[in-house]
Amino acid sequence: MPSPIVRPLETADVAALCDLIDALADYENLPRPDSDARGRLAHDAFAQPPWFHVLVAVLGEEVVGYAVYYFTYSTFLARPNLYLEDIFVSREHRGEGAGLALFRACATEATRQRCARMEWVVLNWNAPSIDFYQHLGARQAQEWLPFRLEGDALHSVAG
């Protein structure tokens, strides 16, 4: 079995990326991005400066997984952080090393950018992912609670 190749997203990969995002939405029981969102995603993936970065895992000629990340900043550490927004491998290619290769590529980029840490969230019911991250030495942050402002509440606060 060949090892996966991890590389940056190319314009020819956008359809495959959107299909994988749909598969992640299905896995997480979330609505799939609509056509407008897919168009914005394709545009924003190549914006200058980029809103986010995408790595893809390729086996043979097939894009089988992806990772989306962006940088935040820690004022207390005075260093950037890599925030891993999504990491996903198609169901039929799990166990072939693509997820680990993507995760390692993100960690490598975090160290290359001198990040203080790499952060992400995982759904509390996603035991396979939790086990994967813990096996790599990640720990669940207990001291910080995620909050979200969206939709009408976001617009209300914005005035």
Residue type, 69: Y
Give residue limits of the domains in the chain. Answer: 5-158
> In this predicted model, what pLDDT tens digit does every residue of 37-67 receive, in sequence order?
999 999 999 999 999 999 999 999 999 999 9
CATH numeric code, 5-158: 3.40.630.30
- Report pTM: 0.93
Residue type, 58: V
Q: How far is CA 60 from the centre of its chain?
A: 22
Q: What are phi and psi of 56, to 5 degrees?
A: -120, 150
> In this predicted model, what pLDDT tens digit does every residue of 79-127 receive, in sequence order?
999 999 999 999 999 999 999 999 999 999 999 999 999 999 999 999 9
Question: What is the DSSP annotation of 11-55?
Answer: GGGHHHHHHHHHHHHHHTT-PPP-HHHHHHHHHHTT-SS-S-EEE
Is 27 considered catalytic here? no
